[in-house]
């Protein structure tokens, strides 16, 4: 992790577009050169974020995802900005739109739902447990492949995910009612069937239970 002094941070952020912010300040900036800067608040010393900062996790997870052929942002550097008590990850965005943006369009259909089901199965088969799995963190790229952003909170395993984690991950995916409505709608089977067809560990019955 590289120290970034405050003056350099201000120069980098000059003219940036604020994509996300909360009460304690800016969270995601699109810089004037098109790259992105995601800021993480420094946590107190007792938390796990002190010994393994989220910005670092983000960068490490990018490497693992790339090795496993899952599209994701490209990390340029990881900074510590002591003055504002933030860590930051600077990255080239993954080109495309989030599924949240896309699902609001009238033509977002079953093809995409099935593709997402297969994609989640692929992540599970590849040992990727993405806890922030919701439609705002999945990107459809211009090449029509799916990829992940916001990957600080992810756990990776050498082998395929065990069943209990897969089922728990479905609960994460269905946490937001807007997502749930798009994914499952009026008993829509496309997402469900896409997932089932691409893996064999979880049965339809187990999945139905987890999603209820
Ligand atoms: N790699 C990326 N490619 C495209 N858009 C991105 C990328 N990373 C973030 N964004 C956009 O930035 C915003 C927030 O990103 P995210 O990392 O998910 O932050 P948050 O922690 O606020 O959820 C979203 O509006 C998302 O569309
Ligand atoms: Mg997000």
Average pLDDT, the chain: 94
The predicted structure's pLDDT at residue 115: 96
CB distance 189 to ligand 1 below 6 Å: no
What residues contact 84, with CB distance under 8 A and at least 6 apart?
6, 9, 25
Total number of residues shown for the chain: 212
The residues placing their C-beta within 5 Å of ligand 2, an ion, are 136-137, 150
Strand order in the sheet with 25-30: 2-3, 74-81, 86-92, 36-41, 25-30, 17-22
Which residue, 202, 122, 194, is CA-closest to 162? Answer: 202
The reply to whether 97-211 shares the fold of 2-92 is: no
Token digits for 72?
């994701």
Atom 11 (ligand 1): residue with closest C-alpha? 19
Q: How far is residue 53's CA from residue 3's CA, in Å, rounded to a whole number?
A: 14
CA of 205 to the centre of ligand 2 (A): 30
User: Helices marked H in the chain — which ranges?
Assistant: 6-13, 48-51, 54-67, 99-103, 110-125, 163-173, 177-184, 190-198, 204-211
The predicted structure's pLDDT at residue 185: 86
Q: Which fold has domain 2-92?
A: Phosphorylase Kinase; domain 1 (3.30.200)
Q: Which fold has domain 97-211?
A: Transferase(Phosphotransferase); domain 1 (1.10.510)
The domain locations on the chain are 2-92, 97-211
Question: Tens of pLDDT along the chain (212 residues)?
Answer: 899 999 999 999 999 999 999 998 999 999 999 999 999 998 766 677 677 899 999 999 999 999 999 999 999 999 999 999 999 999 999 999 999 999 888 767 999 999 999 999 999 999 999 999 999 999 999 999 999 999 999 999 999 999 999 999 999 999 999 999 999 988 899 999 999 999 999 999 999 998 88
The predicted structure's pLDDT at residue 82: 93
């Amino acid at each position: 992790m590289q120290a970034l002094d405050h003056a350099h941070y201000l120069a980098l952020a000059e003219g940036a577009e604020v994509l996300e912010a909360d009460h304690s300040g800016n969270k995601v900036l699109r810089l004037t050169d098109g790259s992105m800067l995601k800021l993480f608040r420094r946590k107190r010393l007792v938390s796990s974020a002190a010994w393994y900062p989220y910005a670092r996790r983000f960068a490490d997870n990018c490497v693992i995802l790339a090795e496993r052929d899952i599209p994701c942002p490209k990390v340029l550097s990881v900074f510590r900005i002591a003055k504002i008590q933030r860590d930051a990850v600077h990255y080239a965005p993954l080109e495309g739109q989030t599924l949240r943006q896309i699902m609001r369009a009238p033509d977002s259909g079953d093809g995409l739902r099935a593709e997402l089901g297969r994609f989640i199965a692929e992540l599970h088969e590849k040992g990727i447990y993405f806890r922030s799995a919701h439609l705002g963190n999945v990107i459809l790229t211009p090449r029509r492949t799916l990829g992940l952003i916001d990957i600080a909170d992810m756990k990776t395993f050498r082998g395929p995910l065990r069943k209990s984690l897969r089922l728990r991950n479905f609960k994460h995916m269905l946490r937001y009612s807007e997502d749930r409505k798009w994914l499952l709608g009026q008993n829509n089977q496309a997402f469900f069937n896409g997932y089932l067809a691409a893996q064999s560990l979880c049965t339809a019955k187990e999945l139905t239970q987890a999603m209820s």
